[in-house]
Structure 1
Amino acid sequence: MTYWYLTTDTVPFYVSIWSLKGTENYRFYGAVFGIVGAVHGARVLDLIVMSIRGRQLRLRSETSMIRTLMSNPMISRTLSLVAKKEAKDSQSVRHPKPRLATLVARSLGRMWKRVFSRQSFFGVESEHFSTVYALQEILVISSQTYQSYRASNLLPRPELNVIMVALLVTNCWTTASIQIFLRKSPELGRVFTFTYNAMVGFGMMTIVPLLIFIPCIEGFDLQYKYLKNQNFIFEPLTLVTLVLENRLIFAAGLFDFATKLIPHLSIMLSLVTVSELLGRGDVKVVPVLGVQFSHSNIKTVPNDLYLRWHPLVGIYFDYGELTDIPFQMFLSPAHVLSFVGNQIETIPTLAMLPAGAIIPELALSTNPLKEFPATLMEPTALIMSMNVQHTSLTSMPEWVKTNTKVVWAYGTPFCAAPMTDPKFADRVMCFERPAGQDLAFPIALLDALYPY
């Protein structure tokens, strides 16, 4: 805003005192610095609002669960395809042509993600991270060196010159020191390095110029655009100091403008990177969704797993040496209970299902299973889907008609015999279960890839 203000009304007269080119390119400089300042301000405001809402320091706006799930390639790809299809359908019906603003917003969002996301070119998990960071440091140190050199020639205050040089030297050596001392913890080293670089850049390019410029602002009437002390022209020391300091503060040309802009861009990039690094601290670990033991020598299952394990999508004890299933196992809050390929012949504990118990899916296929319990203790228990394919079942108990929704019994002696009861025919499926409905780990694929 200062650059723009200096181009209005009679203010360019004062600019000509220290600038040989007057206000040339000042509007351009003001626009660029204004954009960078707006991004900084929006970022800080976003952090403040998120922290107030969350009642703690927050560096990212997305919830941890959404971010973690979206990091899963399968989930993100599926959601992307669904979103594209829905968008295409909705546009064809309601919005034949999307608005230009929407397209621009999407393009900017995709561009930002490609450049600044965790695995993008400037991301903290990028394979080019070290190279990009080294180039960034070279540019920043070079620009700060140039600005320190100009300060040594133009700044008449020795204390501010000392601060500029001290910050520059410290920045040169601290980066290497942090990398050496924290080499065993590269993530922590990156956080410290970027945070310190942002602080040094802020000190050199914001704090020091403000210390120089604030006295000038205090001596200038912004409303009527004139100097409060009209005799400053007749005070050589004051006039020379004003000229030199303003030559240092304001860009003298495109090269000087670039060296002033680079540290500000570095600060912005450092803050984004630190937010990405520390943002993982806000992400709670996603609980395990399923547990599978396959091709093991497990002979027994503890009877207190339903107390020790949180609700799961599936619990699998497949292709082991189990001969029975504890009653408490059926109390486990899981969508799928799988005991495929074990040595189970009978399941007496199945009769002990409590009232109102619901098992969404019970898999018992490829067991030498010979019979089910004749009755269930509680008529309100329900097994939604039961898979007993390739077992030795010769008959089905009566509770299968009322306490199950579907029973997959392909490859059993029961299905080999004619089925006369229409209720059994309605519940028991004697054809093979369709592929793709099994959520178990595809161990057959591994067997094909790595034969024993």
Structure 2
Amino acid sequence: MVLVEKRLVFAIYNVIKFPANVDGFGKDWSLVAPIKDGIFWTYRAVFTRDGFLGVDGPNFDFVLLCREIVETALQTQQAYRMSLLVPRRELNRGYVALLVLNCWSTALVHSFFRNHATQRRLLALICDCVLDLVSSVGITTVLVAMYIPDFEFKTYGFPLLLLLVRVNMTNGEIPIGLHADDFPQSLEDIEFCVTNLRSLPEDLDLKWPQYASIYIEASQFLDVPQSLVRLAPFDLSLSLNPISTIPKELFESESVAYLNFGGTLISELPENVSKLSSSMTDINLSGTNVSFFWLSNHTSDKRRRHTLLRGYQTYF
């Protein structure tokens, strides 16, 4: 500790010289002394309270500004990634609000305490520490707290399956709880089998997970819901539904790998498919009236054509 102008300052050791147990180290070694002196003067010029990075240094405000710019750029990228990966609108907005507050806090502190350098720097550091703590620890804690109710402590994991078999739904629509804003994004398999389901909400693509297996089989759909087309799930099955047409977007979307329309009323495929998705792995048209398939126009690999198409019990 040193006392300067009746102000108490803490340092890891005396900023004027090395501590006694270090000062005598290397006196007998000619090669060590220059290195020790170099380390001492580097530390003295950079890290002491009146050094380049010191709180009383002449470049404190400039260094703080540069650090804030870098920090804001990194946090902006993090906010963008959160908006894509975290399905919580309030949490994303809260993080953006913290980011804006962090940007303006430094300017406000400098504006109100322009004539008090010590208080200005102290408050700038305190505000920065508090906001950084909230953004790095607080946001993470809130996110964990949101997922705790869905966590299965018996299996030490989150639910992965949603299976509804032989279920009669009111008005042929899925219940509100199955398309809520907090619908579990960890589900990997969503299946409805032998139901009276005939419609899906328009905003379902914003709530259901895309990289999941979605099977809605033996139900009452007359066409493919547009929300499912926009969702373009990884694995989609609408077999045994009275569907007569398939949207071309399902064949073009790079997120779709498996399609199953077996046992439907389909007699032909969309002719205006510009390019078959490179991620497409399997197309099942078993039990349909499809007699022509344009797969040869979109891929020259015969092995891939045989792997893609399954059409037994068809005119093809």
Normalising by structure 1, report the TM-score: 0.29
Higher helix share goes to which structure? 1
Larger Rg: 1
Q: What's the TM-score once normalised by structure 2's chain length? A: 0.40
